[in-house]
Amino acid sequence: MFIKRIRDLREDNDLTQTELGKILHISQRTYSHYENGTRDIPIEILIKLAHYYNTSVDYILGETNTRKPYK
């Protein structure tokens, strides 16, 4: 579920994997592994993604369908 979520969030924001990699300070190849599910996403990257997309880690992981971040 989270693989689809991170891809959808990236595409909804019209970002390439390369652009998002630069934002996260990782290579495009590393980010590609996250989207393909061949590498686990570190907690630090999940948190950065949640902050960047203004959502919660729970949303990215598929634990909730509420896109709003927690207050």
Give the pTM. 0.90
Query: pLDDT of the chain along its 71 residues, tens only?
Result: 789 999 999 999 999 999 999 999 999 999 999 999 999 999 999 999 999 999 999 999 999 999 888 76
State how many domains the chain has: 1
CATH of the domain at 20: 1.10.260.40
Give domain status of residue 70, yes or no: no
Asked if 53 contacts 9 with a C-beta cutoff of 8 angstroms, the reply is yes
Per the structure, the complete domain to which residue 44 belongs is given by: 2-61
Give domain status of residue 30, yes or no: yes
Task: For residues 16 and 60, give the distance between their C-alpha atoms in angstroms, rounded to a whole number.
Answer: 18
Give domain status of residue 44, yes or no: yes
| pLDDT attached to residue 5 | 95
Which residue type is seen at 71?
K
Asked if 71 contacts 11 with a C-beta cutoff of 8 angstroms, the reply is no
Q: Note the maximum CA span of the chain.
A: 33
Give domain status of residue 10, yes or no: yes
